[in-house]
Amino acid sequence: MSLGYRKCLTATQIDGPTLTAAAAATCLPATKYTLPAAAFDTIGQVLWGRLTGRISCAVTTPGTARFDLRLGGTVVFDSLALNLNIVAKVNVHFSFEFMLTLRAVGSAANFIPWGKFESEAVIASPVPTVGGSGVLFVPYNTAPVVGGNFDSQVAQSLDVFFTQTVATGSLTVHQAVVEAPRWE
């Protein structure tokens, strides 16, 4: 029988910035976590996280939402463009969850991703009085593939970026946690 634990790498204590520009920007508060060198040294290790907060989109030009997780400057997971609702949504809840499983270690380490984005702001979500929130599995509209390679032998800063294609909406992360479950 193995023993395990979930090591919390980072958890928010304040809101992230309210993002309104149509450009990639960090959605986490200023404090970032730096993974030490060799933090990911065993194939099968997992990086898990969940972000929650509020999102808005306009009726005429809802655009898309996109999350990417970066280690240093490398995108190791990209949700790809998530279609937003053509019905205006103002400050509605969202939840973005991801799980990355280490597939390779060393100077060309990488993860295979899984994730989901859930919100009333997702295209085709019913109005609150007749149904729940829509769910999109990510990476969206494609088969899962490994993310960008990173060097697991050196320290890497962990960050989550958000991009919207149009500056007609907004996103604020209120809560975020990133964990590294371990089994010994």
Q: Which residue has the tokens 């593939």?
A: 145
Specify whether the CB–CB gap between 135 and 118 falls below 8 A.
Answer: yes
Give 59: exposed, middle or buried? Use CB within 10 Å, 0-12, 13-18, 19+: exposed
Specify whether the CB–CB gap between 27 and 162 falls below 8 A.
Answer: yes
Lookup: tokens for 184 = 């010994």
Positions of the chain with pLDDT lower than 70, given as ranges: 1-3, 183-184
Q: pLDDT at position 82, please?
A: 94
Q: How many structural domains are present in the chain?
A: 1
Q: Minimal CA–CA distance to 173: which of 1, 60, 48, 17?
A: 17
Q: What is the CATH number of the domain that holds 15?
A: 2.60.120
Q: pLDDT at position 24, please?
A: 93
Task: Quote the pTM value.
Answer: 0.91
Residues in the chain: 184
Q: Distance between alpha carbon 115 and the CA centroid of its chain, in Å?
A: 8
Q: Which domain holds residue 131?
A: 4-183
Mean pLDDT of the chain: 91
Residue type, 76: V
Q: pLDDT at position 44, please?
A: 94
Q: pLDDT at position 130, please?
A: 78
